[in-house]
Amino acid sequence: MTNVTSLDAARSSPRKLARKLGKFCGHRHSILVCEEDRTVECGTCGAKLDPFDALATVMREWDKWEQSKARSEHDARRASDELAEVKRHLANAKAGLRRATR
Ligand SMILES: [Zn+2]
């Protein structure tokens, strides 16, 4: 009967069951790697993590970070171009004002 309940739980919420089995705990931003005994655990709650799952999580976070970095660099370049344009307009406006007030 317990097995049936577990299967139902797995069907309705595989993550919840995995968490019960100690594979996931829901904390994803703190992973401790113990090189001595070659284990990986959650840095927040100490749950033992599957090393492959932990590596996959790190790779996903790395990909997200790289995409975010590329977006930030693109935004920074665009903002820099816009600032240069504004500075050009300001210089022109100042020159026009100087000519007009002479
Ligand atoms: Zn945790």
What is the distance in A from the centroid of ligand 1 to the CA of 15?
13
pLDDT of 7 > 50? The answer is no
What is the distance in A from the centroid of ligand 1 to the CA of 19?
9
**pLDDT digit string, tens, across residues 11-47:** 455 555 555 555 567 777 788 999 999 999 998 898 9
In angstroms, the CA 96 to CA 20 distance is 73
User: Residue for token digits 């999580």?
Assistant: 57
What is the distance in A from the centroid of ligand 1 to the CA of 102?
72
Residue 80's pLDDT band, with cuts at 50, 70 and 90, is very high
Task: Give the start-to-end residue ranges of the domains of the chain.
Answer: 4-101
What is the distance in A from the centroid of ligand 1 to the CA of 47?
6
